[in-house]
Structure 1
Amino acid sequence: MLDAAARRLIDPPLNAIGRALARAGVTADAVTLAGLTLGLVAAAMIALDAPLWALGPLLTSRLADGLDGAVARATRRTDWGGYLDIAADFAFYGAIPLSFVLADPGGNGAAGGFLLAAFYFNGTTFLGYAVLAEKRGLRTSAQGVKSLYFSNGLLEGTETIGFFVALCLLPGWFAPLAWIFGSLCYLSGTLRLIGARKAFPS
């Protein structure tokens, strides 16, 4: 819901940094993999019961997630790069809830399982929509120039990052926050299904 507005604010500085990285010979794929690595480091720190320390690598990983596209736009966008980016994103988004479950299986297990199931459903509606949009030749740049169609939703990357930051700041509140955010993920996916029914009539 907030991604389009956030992109208008962050794209200009990201594009400037991306051009500088491209001139230095840094590839978009390298930035994507660096971001994923940092995200997994953050997850490991959470699992080891250090969520506040995880905020640094977590936020830096999301900076890298924005920079890889900026580097690609400054050089050459590829289908592989877009594929790698979305796969890395989903790996990161799954690793953070899992890390809270590993940190406290008894207290966080049920809520974490619900949240991961909600992510799975919401992600499926997102990717399925992208496949059908590509099949029909639809294009959008509302969330920036992407390698695949980014359909909007109630919860997007901006909200999810904010949620992860809140979890790191308030780890004792993981369970209630996860139940709430998971429910909103199910709602977001359901609304996308309804939109897809209208956009792709049989």
Structure 2
Amino acid sequence: MLDAAARKLIDPPLNAVGRTLAARGVTADGVTLTGLGLGLFAALLIAVGLPVLALVPLLASRIADGLDGAVARASRKTDFGGYLDIACDFLFYGAIPFAFVVMDPAANAIAGAFLLTSFYFNGTSFLGYAILAEKRDMETSAQGVKSLYFSNGLLEGTETIAFFVLLCLFASSFAMLAWIFGTLCFATATLRLFAARRVFTMKED
């Protein structure tokens, strides 16, 4: 819901840094993998009971996630680069809730499983929509120039990052926050299914 507005603020500085990195020979795939490494390091810190300290690599990983696209636009965009980016994103999004379960399985296991299930459903609705949109030559740039079609929704990347920050700051409230956010993820995916039915049925008529 907030990604389009966030892109207007973050794209200009990211594009400037991306051009500088590309000029120095840094590759977009390298930035993507660096971002994943930082995200997994954040998950490790959470798992061993240091969620506040994990905020630093967690936020750095998300900056890298924005920079890889900027570097690609300044050098050369590839289909594999877009594929690698989304695969790394999904691994990161799953690793953070899993880390909270590892940190305190007795308190967090059920809520964490619910949250990961909601992520699975929401991610599937997102990728399925992107496949059908590509098949019909649909295009959007509201969330920035992407290799995949990015359908909007109630919860998007900006909200998920804010949620992870809240989890790190209020780790003892993980279960409550996970139930709330997971429910909203289910709502987002359900709404996307209804939108897909309307859009893709209409395009077949």
**Under TM normalisation by the shorter chain, which class is it?**
over 0.9
Q: Which residue of 2 aligns with 1:106?
A: 106
- SS for the counterpart of 2:52 is helix
Matched, 1:34 2:28: no
Q: Which residue of 1 aligns with 2:116?
A: 116
- Tell me, in whole angstroms, the C-alpha distance in 1 between the residues paired with 2:157 and 2:140: 17
> What RMSD, in angstroms, separates the aligned Cα atoms of the two structures?
0.5
How big is the shift at 1:193? 0.3
Identity across matched positions, percent: 71
Matched, 1:21 2:3: no
- Tell me, in whole angstroms, the C-alpha distance in 1 between the residues paired with 2:102 and 2:172: 14
Measured against aligned partners, the alpha-carbon deviations of 1:35-67 in whole angstroms (never above 9, x if no partner) come to 000000000000000001100000000000000
Q: Which residue of 2 aligns with 1:64?
A: 64
How big is the shift at 1:190? 0.3
Q: Name the aligned partner's letter for residue 18 of structure 2.
A: G
Measured against aligned partners, the alpha-carbon deviations of 1:133-171 in whole angstroms (never above 9, x if no partner) come to 000000000100000100000000000000000000000
Q: Which residue of 2 aligns with 1:5?
A: 5
How big is the shift at 1:176? 0.3
How big is the shift at 1:105? 0.5
Q: Which residue of 2 aligns with 1:161?
A: 161
- Tell me, in whole angstroms, the C-alpha distance in 2 between the residues paired with 1:83 and 1:117: 22
- Tell me, in whole angstroms, the C-alpha distance in 1 between the residues paired with 2:54 and 2:176: 21
- Tell me, in whole angstroms, the C-alpha distance in 2 between the residues paired with 1:38 and 1:20: 21
Matched, 1:138 2:142: no
- Tell me, in whole angstroms, the C-alpha distance in 1 between the residues paired with 2:113 and 2:37: 23
Matched, 1:83 2:83: yes
Unaligned runs of 5+ in 1: none
Q: Which residue of 1 aligns with 2:170?
A: 170
How big is the shift at 1:124? 0.2
Q: Name the aligned partner's letter for residue 177 of structure 1.
A: L
- Tell me, in whole angstroms, the C-alpha distance in 1 between the residues paired with 2:151 and 2:193: 11
- SS for the counterpart of 2:53 is helix
Q: Name the aligned partner's letter for residue 134 of structure 2.
A: E
How big is the shift at 1:191? 0.3
How big is the shift at 1:30? 0.1
TM-score by length of 2: 0.98
